[in-house]
């Protein structure tokens, strides 16, 4: 019988996402390995809040 693979450990990041440059912001985070989990309304109509995750890089 094989051992179960180790579970993935995640790190999380919360950041404002300005509506007028959302694509650029999301592409920048994506290029750093961050995966968008959810966008939620921000404190004003032009701002969203992005919730991101990526696998934790263990040293």
Backbone angles phi, psi at 29, to 5 degrees: -65, -40
Provide the residue ranges of all domains of the chain, joining segments of one domain with +: 10-55
Q: Give residue 2's pLDDT.
A: 80
The string of pLDDT tens digits covering residues 12-54 is 999 999 999 999 999 999 999 999 999 999 999 999 999 999 9
Around Cβ 58, how many Cβ atoms within 10 Å? 5
pTM of the model: 0.83
Q: Give residue 58's pLDDT.
A: 73
The more confident residue out of 6 and 25 is: 25
On the question of pLDDT at 57 being above 70, the answer is: yes
Q: Give residue 1's pLDDT.
A: 67
């Amino acid at each position: 019988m094989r051992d179960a693979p180790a579970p993935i450990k995640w790190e999380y990041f919360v950041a404002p996402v300005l509506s007028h440059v959302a694509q650029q912001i999301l592409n920048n985070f994506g290029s750093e390995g961050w995966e968008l989990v959810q966008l939620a309304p921000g404190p004003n109509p032009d701002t969203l809040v992005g919730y991101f995750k990526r696998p934790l890089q263990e040293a």
